[in-house]
Amino acid sequence: MPTRTRQWMSRNTGSHLDWPAERALAHKGAETVSVVLPAKDEQETVGAIVEAIRKPLVERLPLVDEIVVIDSRSGDGTAVTAREAGALVYHQDDILPDLPGLWGKGEALWKSLAVTTGDVVVFVDADIRNFGPHFITGLVGPLLADPDMGYVKGCYSRPLLEEGSVAPADGGRVTELVARPLLNMCWPHLSGFVQPLAGEYAGRRAVLEAVPFVCGYGVEFALLVDLADLLGVDRMAQTDLGVREHSHQSTAALGRMSGQIINTAWSRLHRHGLATAARPPATGLTQFVQTPVGYHALDWDVDVPERPPMRQVAHARSAQFPPGRVQR
Ligand SMILES: O=c1ccn([C@@H]2O[C@H](COP(=O)(O)OP(=O)(O)O[C@H]3O[C@H](CO)[C@@H](O)[C@H](O)[C@H]3O)[C@@H](O)[C@H]2O)c(=O)[nH]1
Ligand SMILES: O=C(O)[C@H](O)COP(=O)(O)O
Would you say the CB of residue 254 lies under 6 angstroms from ligand 2?
A: yes
Instruction: Give the pLDDT confidence score for residue 321 in this predicted structure.
Output: 54
Pocket lining: 82 vs ligand 1, CB cutoff 6 Å: no
Asked whether 126 lines ligand 1 (CB < 6 A), one says yes
Residue predicted with more confidence, 321 or 131? 131
- 158 Cβ closer than 6 Å to some ligand 2 atom: yes
- Looking at residue 320, its pLDDT comes to 63
Q: In angstroms, what CA-CA distances link 194 with 128, 207, 264, 274?
A: 18, 22, 19, 25
More confident residue, 7 or 318: 7
Smallest-distance ligand from the CA of 168: 2
Residue, of 316 and 115, whose pLDDT is higher? 115
Q: What is the rounded distance in angstroms from the CA atom of residue 109 to the CA atom of residue 36?
A: 8
Sign of the C-alpha dihedral computed for residues 48, 50, 53 and 54 taken in this order:
negative
Ligand 1 centroid from CA 219, angstroms: 10
Global pTM reads 0.95
What ligand is nearest to the CA atom of residue 176?
2
ipTM of the complex as predicted: 0.97
Ligand nearest to the Cα of 250, by number? 2
Nearest CA among 213, 237, 247, 227 for reference residue 125? 247
pLDDT in tens, 209-221: 999 999 999 999 9
Extents of the domains making up the chain? 3-248+306-317
User: Ligand 2: does its nearest atom lie under 6 Å from the Cβ of 244?
Assistant: no
CB 34 within 8 A of CB 153: no
User: Contact 116/30 with Cβ under 8 angstroms?
Assistant: no
Whole-number Å distance, alpha carbon 326 to ligand 1 midpoint, is: 31
Q: What is the CATH number of domain 3-248+306-317?
A: 3.90.550.10
Task: Kindly give the number of the ligand 2 atom that is closest to the alpha carbon of 177.
Answer: 3
Pocket test for ligand 1, best of 74, 81, 105 (most atoms within 8 A of CB): 105
